[in-house]
């Protein structure tokens, strides 16, 4: 399936991936992105510290002159995209996923990548990314052979969750109660400093992925785990595929659940939109589908955007990792092949198989 570069650049995570890749390919871009991103960051001078500007390490050091958006756009267009490798793309994807945040404003690099002149200048990079082997696999649909990830060591084994209906029932009660409480207690102003639930799906359901160990680093809002047990599973069923933002909006349109009061403050900060919000009513989705699979391309195009559901209502896909399948019914079974254990050192992205 051929994918257009514009589809990748429509999404905040897709743009961030291309910008991160550009910083790997050109040290001048790395320096300009660092400094321009700092200036655009909502936490400038507070959560983003000023002393880092004096660094002469991998951030590119202090430029000889102040970088500009126009200058960066020109440099981006001059990059030799033929040097892009699958390894470059994998690292950029990890950083694009790891910098997602739906409970506060986008960081400076996300803001920078969203400036039209920069997004346009990233188009040649997007096209080359999609031509690489890695990019060509991003539209792959759910496969029967999957992996479940248990973020605990092998000395603390756990069976696969087998109670999706119970989880969905509990989630439905809790989310409606949370919505009612938020409507009563939350301030009317979207600028108020309040936060709460921002996820788009039930956290207690089983999720699986198609690629190990790559998926160990493709986790939004990671808790910094250093051990993982990966469980081979086999699962088939009626699977709804999210390939683009259109698919996610369609799912929300067919099974809408109002979450305006509980999410409007967080999602305003991350998207700038104020208005009614919905997510899928996962209880109802489970009546028609066993699973919902988010392709990597679907993630890069969809995650973090305010997407129209109808004339007045919008939605956000938040907290869901690329190439991840959410299971709504009890059709997943552990395969006969052994579980694997993986570990990594603190502050290291490299996972090593230990068993």
Nearest C-alpha neighbor of 97 from the set 87, 89, 85: 89
Are 32 and 76 contacting, i.e. CB atoms less than 8 angstroms apart?
Answer: no
pLDDT at 160: 87
Taking 70 as the threshold, does the pLDDT of residue 282 lie above it?
yes
What pLDDT does 62 receive? 54
Asked whether the predicted pLDDT for residue 1 surpasses 70, the reply is no
Helix/strand/coil for 73: helix
Cβ(235)–Cβ(332) under 8 Å? yes
User: pTM of the full predicted structure?
Assistant: 0.94
Q: What pLDDT score does 260 carry?
A: 98
Does the pLDDT value for residue 4 go beyond 70?
Answer: yes
pLDDT band at 53; cut points 50, 70, 90: very low
* SS3 track for the chain: CCCCHHHHHHCHHHHHHHHHHHHHHCHHHHHHHHHHHHHHCCCECCCECHHHHHCCCCCCCCCCCCCCHHHHHHHHHHCCHHHCCHHHHHHHHHHHHHCCCCCCCCCHHHHHHHCHHHHHHCHHHHHHHHHCHHHHCCCCCCCCEEEEEECCCCCCCCCCCCCHHHHHHHHHHHHHHHHHHHHHHCCCCCCCCCCCCCCCCCCCCCEEECCCCHHHHCCCCCCCCCEEEEEEEECCCCEEEECCHHHHHHHHHHCEEECHHHHHHHHHHHHCCCCCEEEECHHHHCCCCCEEEECHHHHHHHCCCCEECCCCCEECCCCCCCCEEEECCCCCEECCCCCEEEECCCCCCCCEECC
Question: 313, 296, 323: which is closest to 249 by C-alpha?
Answer: 313
User: pLDDT band for position 186 (50/70/90)?
Assistant: very high
- Give the CA count within 13 Å in the CB-facing half-sphere of 194: 16
Q: What is the pLDDT of residue 68?
A: 97
What is the model's pLDDT at position 225?
93
pLDDT classification of 133: cutoffs 50, 70, 90: confident
Which residues 6+ apart lie within 8 Å of 158 measured at CB? 150, 152
């Amino acid at each position: 399936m051929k994918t257009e570069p514009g589809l990748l650049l429509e999404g905040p995570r897709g743009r961030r991936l291309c910008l991160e890749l550009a910083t790997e390919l050109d040290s001048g871009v790395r320096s300009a992105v660092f400094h321009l991103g700092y200036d655009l960051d909502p936490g400038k001078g507070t959560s983003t510290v000023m002393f880092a500007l004096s660094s002469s390490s991998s951030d590119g050091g202090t430029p000889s002159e102040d970088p500009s958006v126009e200058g960066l756009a020109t440099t981006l267009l001059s990059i030799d995209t033929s040097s892009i490798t699958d390894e470059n793309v994998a690292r950029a994807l990890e950083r694009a996923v790891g910098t997602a945040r739906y409970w506060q404003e986008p960081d400076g690099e996300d803001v920078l990548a969203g400036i039209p002149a920069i997004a346009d200048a990233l188009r040649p990079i997007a096209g080359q990314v999609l031509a690489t082997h890695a990019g060509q696999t991003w539209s792959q649909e759910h496969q029967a052979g999957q992996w479940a990830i248990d973020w605990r060591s092998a000395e603390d084994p756990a069976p696969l969750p087998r109670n999706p209906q119970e989880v969905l029932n509990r989630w439905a009660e809790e989310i409606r109660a949370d919505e009612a409480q938020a409507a009563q207690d939350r301030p009317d102003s979207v600028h108020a400093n309040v936060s709460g639930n921002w996820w788009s799906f039930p956290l207690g359901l089983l999720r699986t992925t198609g690629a190990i160990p790559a998926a160990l680093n493709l986790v939004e809002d990671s808790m910094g785990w250093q051990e993982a047990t990966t469980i081979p599973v086999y699962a088939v069923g009626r699977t709804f595929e999210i390939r683009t933002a259109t698919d996610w909006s369609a799912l929300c349109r067919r099974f809408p659940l109002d979450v305006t009061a509980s999410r409007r403050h967080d999602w305003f900060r991350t998207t700038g939109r104020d208005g009614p919000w919905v997510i899928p009513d996962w209880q109802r989705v489970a009546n028609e589908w066993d699973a919902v699979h988010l392709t990597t391309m679907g993630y890069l195009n969809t995650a973090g955007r305010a997407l129209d559901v109808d004339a007045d209502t919008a939605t956000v896909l938040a907290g869901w990792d690329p190439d991840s399948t959410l299971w709504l019914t009890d059709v997943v079974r552990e395969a006969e092949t052994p579980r694997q254990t993986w570990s990594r050192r603190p502050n290291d992205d490299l996972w090593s198989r230990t068993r």
